[in-house]
């Protein structure tokens, strides 16, 4: 599942591929992906003749801006965008095609079909679901140590599920939350309200550092991101914790453990992250 840094890489790549292209028509083969407007024809009619002016991001959502509209797109588990010529064949997993006037097309392919698209008049996108529910961006001025402390103080949830809640702030998914907690030396099952000021300070620093390192690394290797199928791929940072069950901790050498916290597979060092 792509997380904020991967979505940011997709955003930059997608922008280079589709900027200033004009939509001639749209084919929708799996209407359930379109969540707003309810009628798929309204979605396709509205975007006809529109030119893509920018590609933005909010949390893990991509936002395609046209003259009048903002299309909010979530890739969920498997969603991928790719730019193709109209002659190229496509398979049954391609669910939405934006046909451009220059003979190319932007294809949305999604094996699991969990992805979503919401279309709003520009300016309304932040006032409606899904974006209205999101907390601040991790790199924004609002996401301060004080903000994090204030929010964590009020919750009796375990720290990992608390940090995964995108209403608190956006950007941490299952991979980078394990990384940020590892780097902070905090056990994923600690009750959020028991973290002291110093721990929150370290945690805040490591959340921002983990995400910004991943964004930076993705940004520097952007060209390799369009694979041979013309699809935009994902970058992943070298990881300390996630996916390393049984391997040696890079700090202390203890084998890492895997458990389940809040229903999610969770990796941690039993020695560096004491409960
Ligand atoms: Zn360790």
Same domain, 93 and 35: yes
Q: Is residue 56 assigned to a domain? A: yes
State the average pLDDT over residues 43-72.
Answer: 97
Same domain, 119 and 149: no
Same domain, 51 and 122: yes
Q: Is residue 274 assigned to a domain? A: no
Calculate how far, in angstroms, residue 191's C-alpha sits from the geometric centre of ligand 1: 20
Same domain, 187 and 104: no
Calculate how far, in angstroms, residue 272's C-alpha sits from the geometric centre of ligand 1: 4
State the average pLDDT over residues 8-24.
Answer: 93
Same domain, 167 and 121: no
State the average pLDDT over residues 26-42.
Answer: 97
- Torsion sign across C-alpha atoms 224, 227, 228, 230: negative
Same domain, 111 and 219: no
CA atoms of 233 and 266, how far apart (whole Å): 25
Q: Is the pLDDT of residue 228 over 60?
A: no
Q: Is residue 139 assigned to a domain? A: no
Calculate how far, in angstroms, residue 189's C-alpha sits from the geometric centre of ligand 1: 16
* Residues identified as active-site: 2-3, 60, 264
Q: Which of 80, 104, 133 is the last residue of a domain?
A: 133
Calculate how far, in angstroms, residue 255's C-alpha sits from the geometric centre of ligand 1: 8
State the average pLDDT over residues 115-135.
Answer: 96
Structural domain containing residue 167: 145-268
Domain count, the chain: 2
Q: Is the pLDDT of residue 6 over 90?
A: no
CA atoms of 97 and 90, how far apart (whole Å): 10
Per residue in 75-123, pLDDT tens?
Answer: 998 899 999 999 999 999 999 999 999 999 999 999 999 999 999 999 9
Contact 130, 71 (CB under 8 A): no
């Amino acid at each position: 599942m792509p997380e904020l840094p991967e979505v940011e890489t997709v955003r930059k790549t997608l922008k280079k591929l589709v900027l200033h292209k004009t939509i001639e028509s749209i084919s929708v083969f799996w209407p359930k992906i379109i969540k707003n407007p309810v009628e798929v024809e309204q979605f396709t009619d509205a975007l006809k003749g529109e030119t893509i002016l920018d590609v933005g991001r909010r949390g893990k959502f991509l936002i395609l801006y046209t003259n009048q509209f903002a299309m909010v797109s979530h890739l969920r588990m498997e969603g991928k965008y790719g730019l193709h010529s109209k002659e190229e064949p496509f398979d049954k997993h391609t669910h939405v095609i934006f046909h451009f006037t220059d003979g190319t097309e932007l294809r949305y392919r999604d094996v699991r079909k969990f992805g979503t698209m919401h279309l709003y008049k520009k300016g309304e996108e932040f006032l409606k679901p899904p974006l209205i529910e999101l907390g601040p961006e991790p790199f924004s001025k609002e996401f301060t140590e004080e903000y994090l402390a204030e929010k964590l103080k009020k919750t009796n949830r375990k720290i990992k599920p608390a940090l995964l809640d995108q209403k608190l702030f956006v950007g941490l998914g299952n991979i980078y939350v394990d990384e940020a907690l590892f780097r902070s030396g905090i056990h994923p099952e600690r009750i959020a309200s028991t973290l002291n000021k110093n721990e929150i300070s370290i945690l805040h620093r490591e959340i921002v550092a983990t995400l910004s390192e991943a964004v930076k690394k993705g940004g520097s290797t952007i060209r390799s991101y369009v694979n041979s199928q013309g699809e935009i791929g994902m970058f992943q940072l070298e990881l300390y914790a996630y996916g390393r069950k049984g391997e040696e901790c890079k700090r202390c050498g203890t084998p890492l453990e895997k458990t389940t916290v809040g229903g999610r597979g969770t990796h941690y060092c039993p020695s560096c992250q004491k409960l």
